Structure 1
């Protein structure tokens, strides 16, 4: 590099590079968005920076590095497939063209507070962190297949153009490997974010982020693998959040979040395996939710957060909080768009039994049988109504005792007022209206009264009614006892 070809600004950077010292071109509190108007005293050519990074001078005993604040960078910083053994720090700078670091190897890449038309860094290898903190980037940030030993910082960044929804994702981290965190609190995107197949060794943080891509999949993170948590408290999304197949061993924290995709799926987490899902104090979800075949250890979702359409087939969870009466949870199962499915009811009943609430578990089981009854032919529905009215399908056994007592009192009173004639007066025992009614009601009990007396007329029809209802009650009680034993 011929120093005679350098501008004074560039000469300052070249002289500072081997010493690892920084060069600050800032003039007060200036805005990098206005960098196109900055003069030659703070302008650097991208080709000069490229030559410096790839083949710049080093000094024994010092760590070389590019550290610049507040510069205007003209041309394209092309480091494609380059091996840069130094950290690259270009903070608060204005880039006329999108840097190209495809396949490059760098010590660290820091572009904090800068303004760029885009960034291409697919398959980037970074020994340190990559920062686009508080950057304003109008074009796509491409980092698919990148391997970062450190973290990726995008906190406070603004990606895309407000009011636009580009076809290409504004942040692309597909199949990237992040050594520690994806740290992006306060990130704002106008366009899609892709994290498909991304591996993050520690956590993803999207607290207070706002992701906007109406009618699109705004956060596409299928088979995302996170080491610990995905924090997204107060997240606001306009478009689908797709976490199908994700692996998040601890928390997916969406407390106070607002998920919106009217007419579409606001949240898809089918086939995912997640430790805990938190939607505490979140706004009601606008759009459908798909949790088919997902697995959770804990679900903390108040009933009012769920939308009308939630797909639950195959959903498995151990604990459901906050603990509420079963009636407040059943409305969600009744509205399943897939129609009647027994598994969601069984899962909810199991969750109540896990915490020792057997009464709520029985309420859920009863609701399942009533829902199933709607799918049966008329004759089967009639039998179901009888079992429900009699003993609540065995889950309300005290109801049978009430029916038996009512029928016993009715039969006893009726036959006490009108004794039926004896079939063989000489051999018949003394008539006892209570024992006679018990003989009619209980098919397995024989007090010798039913076979000795034969009522006539309307009383004969009453005896038939008592016998038939007795059989129904006996059958349903037996079914209830069997079901209770099977549950235990």
Structure 2
């Protein structure tokens, strides 16, 4: 392109390029390219084909580094840099694009589009040797960055993305590789965001971000790999947040997040591997929470955060906080959509044992047996109810001691009123109803009464019942005492 074909505004940009001088057309720092850019006149209008020619074959100056630095311009036409390679930085800040840039398979040293407004960004397989900055951008159609490789950080903080096309994601970062951080606090996306199989070497930050896609998937990040933390405190999501199979060795922070998808699953974390999971929030999750087969080292979730519908089968965690009474945690397990999940009870009991709360662990184990009883045939349920009422399935040994003393009193009174006859009257010791009942009920100790006397009739059946129940109850008491001593 010949220099005399350029407008005055384009001549300024062309002249500033060789030594990287910034050209700023703004009249003030508070201009809004999205609302005002369409009305900017020729004095600040630059054609996209001029910028393309400048980047591909622009002038250079000895001892200087050419850089395109353009601020506050109205860029007309499509900036088409598909398949191009540019070994320099490009800054098109606070600009208004009439057409979405076409940057498919484009390679650039650094790209800064901060504060710009554009109808879409088609940049799949984009390669950036440094930083890609979309801070504060207003993009009204799809942002396609799938398969992109960004050596530095990707900045999406304060950006607002929306699209009238509902069939495809608004923000596509699937299979993208980011060598540093994905920094997106305050990001707002109206439609689906897709991060499937993306890899982020640093931290992902969605603090105060909003993902709006009611009734559908708002954030889809299946098999996402983050080498550090995924911080999403105060995030708002209307629609499902799907992180199935994600790997976050650090912290997945959803503290004070507001997750809403009443039509189905609000948060899907099945098959994830997480260092820490924070679900501290001011209100309960609206929709189901799926944690099937998830592996979490430290789970921080208050009982009131858990929604009405849960999927916990296969969830593994080492520690659980904050410490809450077992009854509150058990109420959560009863909401599992899969019904009775034994593994969930075992995990909860193990978590209580790790912090030394053996009483809570026994409460959980007892609740597990009671829940399991509801899945059995009637005759086995009946036997379970007997075990529960008498000895609490072995977890309530003091209850067994109470039954033991009650039966001892019954036996002592019965045999005091109707003493059994002596087998050898000349050798028998004096009869003592209390010690005779003890002799029948205690499986080890002998007072010489049982061998010397034999009841008859109904009292013989009573003696057999005392022998049987005594063995069961005494063994339960001894087991409970042994367990208490071993804990100390």
> What TM bracket, shorter-length normalisation?
over 0.9
Distance 1:454 1:276, change over 3 A: same
Structure 1, residues 283-321: CA drift from partner, whole Å, max 9, x if none? 210111111111111111000000121111111111101
Indicate the residue corresponding to 2:107 in structure 1: 105
Distance 1:473 1:383, change over 3 A: farther
Distance 1:9 1:165, change over 3 A: closer
Instruction: Give matches, 1:84-483, under 5 Å.
Output: 84-161=86-163, 166-422=166-422, 425-455=425-455, 459-460=459-460, 462-474=462-474, 476=476
Distance in structure 1 (CA, Å) of the matches to 2:123 and 2:410: 87
Q: Cα distance, 1:57 vs. partner?
A: 0.8
Q: Cα distance, 1:439 vs. partner?
A: 2.6
TM-score scaled by structure 1?
0.94
Distance 1:138 1:208, change over 3 A: same
2:141–2:165 contact (8 Å) kept in structure 1: no
Distance in structure 1 (CA, Å) of the matches to 2:486 and 2:432: 39
Q: Cα distance, 1:379 vs. partner?
A: 2.0
1:215–1:239 contact (8 Å) kept in structure 2: yes
1:74–1:97 contact (8 Å) kept in structure 2: yes
1:141–1:171 contact (8 Å) kept in structure 2: yes
Q: More displaced, 476-485 or 345-354?
A: 476-485
Distance in structure 2 (CA, Å) of the matches to 1:166 and 1:267: 21
1:387–1:476 contact (8 Å) kept in structure 2: no
1:30 paired to 2:35: no
Distance 1:368 1:485, change over 3 A: farther
2:258–2:281 contact (8 Å) kept in structure 1: no
Distance in structure 1 (CA, Å) of the matches to 2:355 and 2:464: 46
Distance in structure 1 (CA, Å) of the matches to 2:304 and 2:231: 22
Distance in structure 1 (CA, Å) of the matches to 2:65 and 2:168: 39
Q: Cα distance, 1:452 vs. partner?
A: 4.1
Distance in structure 2 (CA, Å) of the matches to 1:440 and 1:117: 91
Distance in structure 2 (CA, Å) of the matches to 1:483 and 1:335: 31
Indicate the residue corresponding to 1:16 in structure 2: 16
Q: Cα distance, 1:368 vs. partner?
A: 1.1
1:165–1:190 contact (8 Å) kept in structure 2: no
Distance 1:265 1:482, change over 3 A: farther
2:88–2:110 contact (8 Å) kept in structure 1: yes
Indicate the residue corresponding to 1:45 in structure 2: 47
Distance 1:277 1:117, change over 3 A: same
Distance 1:19 1:358, change over 3 A: same
Structure 1, residues 326-364: CA drift from partner, whole Å, max 9, x if none? 111111112211121211111111111111211111111
Q: Cα distance, 1:479 vs. partner?
A: 7.5
Q: Among residues 61, 64, 78, which one is paired with 2:63 in the alignment?
A: 61
Structure 2 residue ranges without an equivalent (≥5): none
Q: Cα distance, 1:370 vs. partner?
A: 1.2
2:404–2:474 contact (8 Å) kept in structure 1: no
**Count of aligned positions:** 486
TM-score scaled by structure 2?
0.94
Cα RMSD for the two superposed structures: 2.2
1:293–1:316 contact (8 Å) kept in structure 2: yes
Tell me the secondary structure at the aligned position of residue 27 of structure 1: coil
Q: More displaced, 386-395 or 110-119?
A: 386-395
